[in-house]
Amino acid sequence: MIWLSWRQQRTETLIAAVVFAIVVAVVLPTGLHIASVYDDQNIAACLAHPTEACRGNLDNFLVRWDSVVNIVTWFNLVPAVIGILLATPVVLEFERGTYRLAWTQSVTRGRWLAVRLALIGIGALLSGLLLTALMTWWRGPLDDVGSRLQYGFDFEGLVPTAYTFFAAALALAIGVVLRRTGTAIGLAFVVFFVLRIGILGWGREHYQAAVHKSWTTGEGPDLRGAWILSDVRGLRLAGGGAPDPRVIDSCLERSTKRLDSACLAQHHVVEYGGATFQPADRFWTFQAIEAGIFGALTVALVLFAVWWIRKRIN
Amino acid sequence: MTAIPAVQTQALGKRYGSKWALRDCTLAIPPGSVTALVGPNGAGKTTLLHLAISLIEPSAGDVRVLGWSAREQPQLVLPRVGFVAQDHPLYRGFKLVEMLRVGRELNPHWDDELARGRLARLGIPLDQKIGKLSGGQQAQVALTLALAKRPELLVLDEPVASLDPLARREFLQSLMEAVAEGGLTVVLSSHIVAELERVCDHLVILAAGGIRLAGSIEEIVGSHRLLTGPRAEAATIARTHAVVQSSHTERQTTLLVRANGQFADPRWQIEEVGLEDIVLAYLGQMAETPIVDPWQEEVAS
């Protein structure tokens, strides 16, 4: 039974291997490069003791990788592709009617289903962990400098594995109902990304109430690791009201393009600002919540699929 | 001691939504028999076979295979039953050797020698991909897989429907050879009556979800007669014998009857009837007198 399940997953495993080869081909050279620049520019030292001189390096370091980060964003497809791929052989079994062959061997239907589901689960677990490991290594330097909560969330911690499980369960549930592999794959993709993008855009930031901070002097707190939802920065007169633009212009140091704090104080102009954000230390709480959501959906879909297979097939 | 029927159903029914695909089916298939299940498409043949091997669950009644309920004791029934589904589904991407490995790993009584021997005799190469085999060869592979389980009961759903006449003949030939080795009960469904008489010794006629006639072919052929005689006397015949089909000319009447005793009236000309004509008569009878809408019947009861 295990051999049969493995044999039926063979093509899909091969495709999954190709997908991961692509991921590695992108992630390995760029990751090594990012790490070497991180070392060359002494980013770690700067993070430990941020001096005025090296702070520019930090900002530049993040901006520098924008284009490659954009490419890597496409790897958000990987959990969906792999998960759906894992479920396809079982769906094919129902589309082609070969389940009638499988269920009339000497193995009971319950055992057949258990082995098939176990193999899908193992595949989802391994590929989820592999993607997580690759991406966590790749994003390491970027997470040190920037916000892991905001930019690294989709690729790290628990969620990539949870997404993979969810995609597999979704394709399985849709597939056993429709018994059309092509349609099931397409529909699973659409539902997967509607949900992922919906949660990413509108759900995740509400897992815990956002923190709001405002300040009236200097640049405010260090929010480098935080997920900033909105922020405002500006200048006003100490007694209230808008400052004269000419005054501000006169306080601008031409060489550094920075405002001279002493000059501003002299003209009773104060810097103020405020930010609404999710603190960096909520990363694992948010991971647990999101993985919990997709995990619960996975369990529900698998239970539904099992019920459907046992009760509604034929 | 009476032998346990290979398949026994008791008021068996299967409903899809409000429509009964099979209804009130009570039947015993004797062990060692080769039974043909005939009827038009949609008569409920596949439903009955799927119920028997527990691919689907009944909505009413009970079915036992070799004395056991396949639903309650699948581990006892499954190894003893071979099944070839309609269109003989196989893993098309597998090589034949891989398909045999599936059989070996999934069945405790698997007879690898039998499987390889059969395929060698049929000239089907083991390293061939199944998807590349002809329809007839695929049917033979499916039969081989079912036989190599060493089943006591072999169930075949429309095994020859998709085959050309030559492949059909070859398939039935190799099925008969397997039966000749003994110890095997076969139930096969077909909407083609011709050729079945050579293979089968029992017959079940199914139409519109119900059993019309069941028995040994010998008994069925022996008890049915075609009578031709005076039209005026038709009612008298109908009083003693079961009229299956009748047709009339102005003065003469032709009746296909299931005889209940002797025919005393010398004015009737009596002829024997072939199996195919009997089957067609029973199926034609259904077309003339449709059964009561099951839903209404349910409401009435």
* Chain A CB contacts of B142 below 8 Å: 101
pLDDT of B293 over the 70 cut: no
Q: Which residue of B has its CA nearest to A9?
A: B93
pTM of the full structure: 0.86
CB-based contact A101 B103, cutoff 8 Å: no
- Contact with chain A for residue B233, Cβ under 8 A: no
ipTM of the complex: 0.84
Q: Would you say residue A215 lies in a domain? A: no
Position A303: which residue type? Answer: L
Q: Would you say residue A161 lies in a domain? A: yes
CA separation (Å) from B284 to B39, B243, B253, B260, B279? 11, 13, 17, 21, 8
pLDDT tens, A127-144? 999 999 999 999 999 998
| Shortest Cα–Cα distance, A108 to chain B (Å) | 6
Residues A233 and A129 in one domain: no
- Closest-CA residue to A214 (of A247, A236, A244): A236
Residues A113 and A233 in one domain: no
Residue A54 belongs to domain spanning: 2-208+280-311
Residues A36 and A51 in one domain: yes
Residues A67 and A138 in one domain: yes
How far from the centroid of its chain's Cα atoms is residue A161's Cα?
A: 11
Higher pLDDT, A46 or A283: A283
Domain residues of chain B, as ranges? 7-207, 219-300
* Chain A CB contacts of B78 below 8 Å: 104-108
Sorting pLDDT into bands at 50, 70 and 90, what band is B301? very low
Interface of B with A in 136-155 (CB under 8 A): 142, 145, 149
Residues A65 and A139 in one domain: yes
Q: Would you say residue A167 lies in a domain? A: yes
- Contact with chain A for residue B103, Cβ under 8 A: yes
pLDDT of B288 over the 80 cut: no
- Contact with chain B for residue A312, Cβ under 8 A: no
Q: Which of B229-238, B270-279, B282-291 shows the lowest per-residue confidence on average (mean pLDDT)? A: B282-291
pLDDT of B169 over the 90 cut: no
Residues A130 and A232 in one domain: no
* Secondary structure class of B70 (helix, strand, coil): coil
| Shortest Cα–Cα distance, B234 to chain A (Å) | 46
Residues A68 and A162 in one domain: yes
- Identify from B91, B138, B143 which residue to disrupt to test chain A contact, counting A C-beta atoms within 10 A and taking the largest count: B91
| Counted domains in chain A | 2
* Secondary structure class of B248 (helix, strand, coil): strand
CB-based contact A104 B108, cutoff 8 Å: no
**According to the model, what pLDDT value does residue A218 have?**
67
CATH 3.30.70.1560 fits B7-207, yes or no: no
CB-based contact A8 B91, cutoff 8 Å: yes
Residues A202 and A260 in one domain: no
Q: What angle do CA A111, A115, A121 make, to 5 degrees?
A: 140
Q: Would you say residue A214 lies in a domain? A: no
* Chain A CB contacts of B131 below 8 Å: none
Q: Which of A249-253, B225-229, B251-255 shows the lowest per-residue confidence on average (mean pLDDT)? A: A249-253
3-class SS shares of chain B: helix, strand, coil, % to 5? 35, 30, 35
- Closest-CA residue to A179 (of A108, A120, A98): A98
Nearest to B107 among A100, A106, A108 (CB): A106
The mean predicted confidence, pLDDT, of chain B is 87
Residues A115 and A24 in one domain: yes
| Shortest Cα–Cα distance, B207 to chain A (Å) | 20
pLDDT tens, B105-137? 999 999 999 999 999 999 999 999 999 999 889
pLDDT of B287 over the 60 cut: no
pLDDT tens, A173-213? 999 999 999 999 999 999 999 999 999 999 999 999 999 98
pLDDT tens, A147-178? 899 999 999 999 999 999 999 999 999 999 99
Residues A124 and A198 in one domain: yes
Mean pLDDT of B18-32: 91
Residues A113 and A143 in one domain: yes
CB-based contact B93 A3, cutoff 8 Å: no
Length of chain B in residues, anyone?
Answer: 301
Residue A311's H or E segment, with its range, is helix A283-311
Q: Would you say residue A124 lies in a domain? A: yes
**According to the model, what pLDDT value does residue A256 have?**
66
Residues A106 and A73 in one domain: yes
The mean predicted confidence, pLDDT, of chain A is 90
Q: Would you say residue A260 lies in a domain? A: yes
